[in-house]
Structure 1
Amino acid sequence: MRRKLIDLKQQRSTLLEGAEALLKEGKREEYRAEMAKVSNMNDEIKDLEDLVREQDRKFMEKAPDPAEERDKAEERGNQLMKGLEVKFSPLEVAKALFVPKPVEKAVTLATGTLAQPTGAGSTIRDALGYGVGAIIDQVYVQDLTGMAAYLEPYVISEPDAQGAKVSTAAGTARTASADPTFGVAKISPYELTTTSYVDRNIARLTPANYYAKVFNMAMKAMRRDTVKMIFNGDGQATNDMFGIKTAKNVAGANIFATLNVSAVNEDLLTELMFAYGGDEELGGNCRLYLNKKDLQAIGKIRGTNEKRRLYDIVPDAANPNIGTIREGGTIVPYSISKQLTALSESTAGAAAIQAMVYGDPRNYELGLFGDYTVRVDESIKGVERMLTILGDAMVGGNLIVDKGFVVATLPATGD
């Protein structure tokens, strides 16, 4: 089923590329005919997606068999100790990277709750300051194994109905509605490599516990790098993996919206909330993503009574990375990330500065292109008696909903 779904999506991508070319050439009739084929194909794709999604859900929610997991860990631990490469399927990676809900009994790699055995010669504690942004658990994730790229069509504008007096319109040609406009978001694979170091005394652990610690560190490194790219893209002049703040469609137009701001003040949250969505909606599943320093600045804002803070910041007890900002009846969920520029510490200059972002995380699609591989190398830092954990993956991403995020932007001087 997954192979058939991939083939259908590749066919749809080809049709979309052809339709876009026809539209640019002004061949509207041929364009509509191609888009009709795409529309018909969408129904079959949706049925297959529902089936595959249900199969994936069952896999993600399946309770692990302790004996089976122990044997697998022992086998993989022995492979890593020998310097061999261990591969993880996209579904295994998704299960480790993206914590399913409910999470009460889940092994959460983001918060370091993976048990570390004592009495085995070495207990290595995770350091503070190496947390992972919560957005990686909130975005839309797809297994895109076998694809060279993936195109996601989305609507930019819909046609409006035309009204007329019956006696006036009778026998006349009706006024044509404006054609709907579509965009196409491209998701291309981008090589992601992770490198972590650990004291070689970890090798004194049993193979299963050795594997667990190595796997934990590799996944945390992958999570951190992926979060950075979800916000900022891959850092190239022309992105392969787009971030929220760099998202563009195949025509080169921005998929995100921009809100010009001047400072962290009492109106900022309201302006962001109302900048998102159309004229008849507010974002029901939206979150504010911001630098910790901006969250602190929001917490310091005072109302007319200078002794009372205007906003109440309530961190989540189970995950210190997230929480809510409250003002009266308004509640804004937030997540902090060091990968976002602090507006509160920025000064307008020659170039615009992108800071916090606000939107529905499901509007961003993260694609996993094939297996994730992990291996341990003893030679890179042999003198320091350190083991090097090397991970390799292919990931991609882009916004898939028009104006799916609002980016708070400090304009350049003079703009």
Structure 2
Amino acid sequence: MSMRRKLTEKLQERTALLEKAEGLLKEGKREDYRAEMEKVRNMNADIDDLKGLIAEQDRKFMEKAPDLAEEKDKAEERGNALMKGQEVKFTALEVSKALFLPRAAAEKSVTLATGTLAQPTGAGTNIRDPLGNGVGAIIDQVYVQDLTGMSSYLEPYVISEFDATGGDVATNAGKARTASGDPTFGVAKIAPYELTTTSYVDKNISRLTPGNYYAKVFAMAMRAMRRDTVKMIFNGDGQASNNDMYGIKTATNMAGSAIYATLNVDAVDADLLTDLMFAYGGDEELGGNCRLYLNKKDLQALGKLRGTNEKRRLFDIVPDAGNPNTGIIRDGGVIVPYSISSSLTALSTADASSAAVPTMVYGDPTNYELGLFGEYTVRVDESVKAVERMLTILGDAMVGGNLIVDKGFVVATVPQST
């Protein structure tokens, strides 16, 4: 039995135990509930061991130096298949390697992409990207799992722990101790959601050799997938109810409770960053790995804030030279890492006249889990835009996601105006 199959079975067993424990708790059978949760905790150790082994196998795969001859043959084979209109499939591990590489490698892998709906007019060696065609950095920062073969995936997390109680030794001697109360748990569900990507390119691209043709098509498909996935990481799948893929701003557990925290805000002002920082985490901590994700308009609004002398900026914004999508904001002696994304609503222009508006978010990106459910299929269609002499690149995948840490992000929300 493969390690992945064994892990899948263990996860399914844990899911059944969690559902049973939840039912017992609702029935008020606390002793039976504790017994089932003890089984879950014991099983978690086995699951962690299997995850560690699979992660090490995946790491070796990701770090494996490519065999150039083998890669060339594979590119030629896949390029010929695409030219004939056939489907080409990529495993979840291959997709992970292409989508979630360290920034420098990822940048190299997508330099030939044009992104969704961009229409180049030739088939030169390089197809230049327009400005503003970037992809939000959060996709390189979230926690990613290969969930191939699973119909869904449940991540249990702690909502509250129990507290210890104390007392005088002589007074408590021979007496039953006061119960500390039960810890409370939540379960975040990660279910597959169909993601489709569509890109167009001039038909002259077919004049390239099969290997180069494949490289261009693959890069475009991955770039489109990255962009659409970023939107869903923030906003979910857009369904009015019963989301399959949850975003940071829509993250909900199986009991229907929000997994994110909210902070009511009304404007981009001098206290905004401080309020977000202190709204995150518990009474004993501040977020050590947190980032601010915001619309570019809000970053501009922060940069325009001035002190009492109207000359000195309140915040110093320093973009990352290697990736201008990210950078740091200096707020006195505090440094706040940031990433900009057009998928987030701008606080500075939000209209809350009819409903509350969630805007920027602040938190640790590894608190969000992105799951890849199986293969990613890419094919080229010549009929959709035949008159325009364009090829259509179609991609299909199953992805899912949710927050897996209670209050793992703070969402800055403009309350509905009265």
Whether TM-score is above 0.5 comes out as yes
Offset from partner CA, 1:176-227 (integer Å, 9 cap, x none): 0010000000000000000101000110111111111100110011011100
**Partner SS state of residue 309, structure 2:** coil
Aligned equivalent of 1:27: 29
Offset from partner CA, 1:37-61 (integer Å, 9 cap, x none): 1111000000111110111111111
Aligned equivalent of 1:87: 89
Instruction: Give the distance between the partners of 1:67 and 1:126, measured in 2 at CA.
Output: 29
Task: Select which of 96, 99, 111 maps to 1:97.
Answer: 99
Is 1:49 the counterpart of 2:48? The answer is no
**Partner SS state of residue 320, structure 1:** strand
Instruction: Give the distance between the partners of 2:125 and 2:168, measured in 1 at CA.
Output: 84
Shift of 1:110: 7.7
Task: Select which of 302, 305, 314 maps to 1:301.
Answer: 305
Aligned equivalent of 1:267: 271
Instruction: Give the distance between the partners of 2:112 and 2:337, measured in 1 at CA.
Output: 24
What's the C-alpha RMSD, in Å, of the aligned pairs? 1.6
**Structure 1, gaps ≥5 residues long:** none
Alignment of 1:143-222 (within 5 A): 143-222=146-225
Instruction: Give the distance between the partners of 1:130 and 1:29, measured in 2 at CA.
Output: 56
Aligned partners of 1:291 and 1:356 also within 8 Å: yes
**Partner SS state of residue 278, structure 2:** helix
Opposite residue 108 of structure 1, the aligned amino acid is: E
Offset from partner CA, 1:125-155 (integer Å, 9 cap, x none): 2222221100000000000011111000000
**Partner SS state of residue 5, structure 2:** helix
Shift of 1:413: 1.6
Offset from partner CA, 1:313-333 (integer Å, 9 cap, x none): 111011111000012210000
Offset from partner CA, 1:322-380 (integer Å, 9 cap, x none): 00001221000000000000000113312100000000000000000000000000000
Distance of aligned partners of 1:4 and 1:225 in 2 relative to their CA distance in 1, 3 Å threshold: same
Instruction: Give the distance between the partners of 2:101 and 2:316, measured in 1 at CA.
Output: 28
Aligned equivalent of 1:356: 360
**Partner SS state of residue 366, structure 2:** helix
Aligned equivalent of 2:119: none
Shift of 1:12: 0.6
**Partner SS state of residue 343, structure 2:** coil
Aligned partners of 2:110 and 2:223 also within 8 Å: no
Aligned partners of 1:110 and 1:132 also within 8 Å: no
Task: Select which of 334, 337, 341 maps to 2:338.
Answer: 334
Distance of aligned partners of 1:241 and 1:15 in 2 relative to their CA distance in 1, 3 Å threshold: same
Instruction: Give the distance between the partners of 1:111 and 1:258, measured in 2 at CA.
Output: 35
Instruction: Give the distance between the partners of 2:113 and 2:136, measured in 1 at CA.
Output: 18
Instruction: Give the distance between the partners of 2:315 and 2:59, measured in 1 at CA.
Output: 38
Aligned equivalent of 2:144: 141
Aligned partners of 2:279 and 2:410 also within 8 Å: yes
**Structure 2, gaps ≥5 residues long:** 115-121
Instruction: Give the distance between the partners of 1:367 and 1:270, measured in 2 at CA.
Output: 32
Shift of 1:304: 2.0
Shift of 1:70: 1.3
Aligned partners of 2:152 and 2:190 also within 8 Å: yes
Shift of 1:21: 1.6
Instruction: Give the distance between the partners of 1:121 and 1:18, measured in 2 at CA.
Output: 60
Aligned equivalent of 2:117: none
Alignment of 1:322-401 (within 5 A): 322-401=326-405
Instruction: Give the distance between the partners of 2:96 and 2:220, measured in 1 at CA.
Output: 16
Distance of aligned partners of 1:107 and 1:69 in 2 relative to their CA distance in 1, 3 Å threshold: farther
**Partner SS state of residue 258, structure 1:** strand
Bigger drift between 401-410 and 24-33 goes to: 24-33
Opposite residue 225 of structure 2, the aligned amino acid is: M
Aligned partners of 2:110 and 2:219 also within 8 Å: no
Is 1:407 the counterpart of 2:406? The answer is no
TM-score, with length taken from structure 1: 0.96
Aligned equivalent of 1:2: 4
Opposite residue 303 of structure 1, the aligned amino acid is: G
Distance of aligned partners of 1:174 and 1:314 in 2 relative to their CA distance in 1, 3 Å threshold: same
Shift of 1:410: 0.3
Instruction: Give the distance between the partners of 1:327 and 1:10, measured in 2 at CA.
Output: 47
The size of the alignment, in residue pairs, is 408
Is 1:125 the counterpart of 2:128? The answer is yes
Aligned partners of 1:360 and 1:405 also within 8 Å: yes
Shift of 1:113: 6.3
Show structure 1 runs of 4+ deviating over 3 A. 119-123
Offset from partner CA, 1:223-282 (integer Å, 9 cap, x none): 111000000000012211000000000000000000000100000000000000000101
Bigger drift between 212-221 and 57-66 goes to: 57-66
Instruction: Give the distance between the partners of 1:304 and 1:293, measured in 2 at CA.
Output: 23
Shift of 1:111: 6.0
**Partner SS state of residue 365, structure 1:** strand
TM-score, with length taken from structure 2: 0.95
Aligned equivalent of 2:73: 71
Aligned partners of 2:268 and 2:302 also within 8 Å: yes
Opposite residue 392 of structure 2, the aligned amino acid is: T
Instruction: Give the distance between the partners of 1:26 and 1:190, measured in 2 at CA.
Output: 35
Instruction: Give the distance between the partners of 1:209 and 1:63, measured in 2 at CA.
Output: 20
Aligned partners of 2:87 and 2:379 also within 8 Å: yes
Shift of 1:109: 6.0
Instruction: Give the distance between the partners of 2:396 and 2:161, measured in 1 at CA.
Output: 42
**Partner SS state of residue 93, structure 1:** helix
Aligned partners of 1:259 and 1:406 also within 8 Å: yes
Aligned partners of 1:185 and 1:399 also within 8 Å: yes
Shift of 1:300: 0.6
Distance of aligned partners of 1:122 and 1:379 in 2 relative to their CA distance in 1, 3 Å threshold: farther
